[in-house]
Amino acid sequence: MVRKKILPLTRIHEPLEVEVEVNNGQVTDAWISSTLFRGFELMLENRDPRDTAIYSQRICGICSTAHAIAGTLALEEAYKVDPTPNGFLIRNLIVGADFLQNHLRQFYLLALPDYARGPDTAPFRPLLKGDYRIPGKLEKSMYENFWKATELSAKAHQMVAIWGAKAPHQQTIIPGGVTEKPDAEKINMFTSILRDIEKFVLEKYIPDVQTIAEYYPEYYEIGKGYGNLMSFGMFSLAKNKPRHFKPGYIENFSNQEVKEIDYQLIKEEVAKSWYKESTEARHPYEEKTIPDKGKAGAYSWIKTPQYQSKPFEGGPLARLWLNGIYHRGISVNDRNIARALELREIIKEMYIWLQEIHLSQPSFNKYELKSQGQGAGLVDSMRGQLGHWVKIEDGRTAHYQVITPSAWNFAPRDSQNRRGPVEEALIGTPVESLESLIEVGRVIRCFDPCFSCSVHIVEGERSLGKYLV
């Protein structure tokens, strides 16, 4: 038995430490830790609640619009206001464009180097030791697509800025809709870029992902995990109508009917997290966050979100599975393929949303501020289920909590010592080289981890220690 640690695991968003136990060439245990400690929830306390959709976007630059939507949904519930039809449509276009840039970057910039060798120059060298099976001609083609994907992901951010004023961290999403007025020029500019990206997704991205799966077929059997899938749904067109991707969950990789989520049963515990222990798991409305770096037995700044006291994974595979779009299986290859196919689905809907915009209609509804209230913004983002919970007292933010997709996916063990979803997915992963552990990286990156999202609390006046990375 050998224990190996990777610190940092690179080509993800922010630092990640992973420790694995390897027996007879297979991972038999795993521990994942986020070493980043930040400060957003506490920053929002005692501020004007309307600041939350702007401030919370700074949790992350790669999925910032998702935080804007979740924070705004929480305020809409507290202020009792709904968006206009144009407000719903333009929000969907902003978020859809952000999905385009995220998924393209995830595969080409972060995941592809685990399978195909890039040019013989930095940053593609030195090369991790591994089983690179893609023939040279195909590798060259994939890296031509690598550079094109980089260009198009930047253009997708231009699409965000058409309606959101800037990217990342758009500025137009507000309670009641968006501040940006639609016009023909914006629609034409947006549509033009969308066509370019659609062509690339259909002709390059999806075939490249399928090629990886063809040359690495055993990765259809690696990385299953618990098989518990959950989605909060996303892309609304009206308050009382179903979202395009519907919410729900299944357990144990079953083909059972998708179950409805009772959001009051979402709780977080901190048994293995560097926070002071509470007597029981708490709902985000009641949760407190008190750091405790010296806590015995803890190994991560990420908390442990659960539903009905069980771990759940989210992301493109969960959404497509729960909505009947993709049912091949749950594995590394399946997650990568689902992410590519999800873009095809989103692009198809984006054309419809563009056609449904009415230029003469308003893009937001006015609302009255309330001195007291609370609300929850529950929606899927790129990596899975995202929740923002706010309490308002005397017109200020009295309490704010965020549970991100990477907190769900990369949670540490719970009070019963059950592994988090990605820790569980690593079990059984074959390891050829203890020096590179490239197979471990493949499993982790198929979840598209974002550790700037998963930890977002800071204690202001105490040194938190130093880490060698």
Query: Residue 164 in contact with residue 190, Cβ under 8 Å?
Result: no
Which pLDDT does position 455 carry in this prediction?
52
pTM of the model: 0.94
Q: Which of 339, 301, 422, 420 is nearest to 15 (CA)?
A: 301
203-250 pLDDT tens trace: 999 999 999 999 999 999 999 999 999 999 999 999 888 999 999 999
Which pLDDT does position 462 carry in this prediction?
37
Which pLDDT does position 398 carry in this prediction?
96
CATH architecture of the domain with residue range 2-454: Orthogonal Bundle (1.10)
325-362 pLDDT tens trace: 999 999 999 999 999 999 999 999 999 999 999 999 99
Which pLDDT does position 456 carry in this prediction?
44
Domain boundaries, the chain: 2-454
Contact residues for 49 (Cβ-Cβ < 8 A; gap 6+): 75, 78, 390, 392, 395, 396, 397
Length of the chain in residues, anyone? 469
Q: In 3-state terms, what secondary structure has residue 403?
A: strand
Give the whole-angstrom CA distance, residue 48 versus residue 297.
38
Show the beta-strand stretches assigned E in 198-299.
229-231, 248-250, 266-269
Q: Rounded to the nearest 5°, which phi and psi values hold at 287?
A: -75, 145
Which pLDDT does position 38 carry in this prediction?
65
Give the whole-angstrom CA distance, residue 223 versus residue 427.
7
β partners of residue 389: 376, 401
* Cβ neighbours around 57 below 10 Å, total: 24
**Residue 76's pLDDT band (cuts 50, 70, 90):** very high
pLDDT at 408 over 80: yes
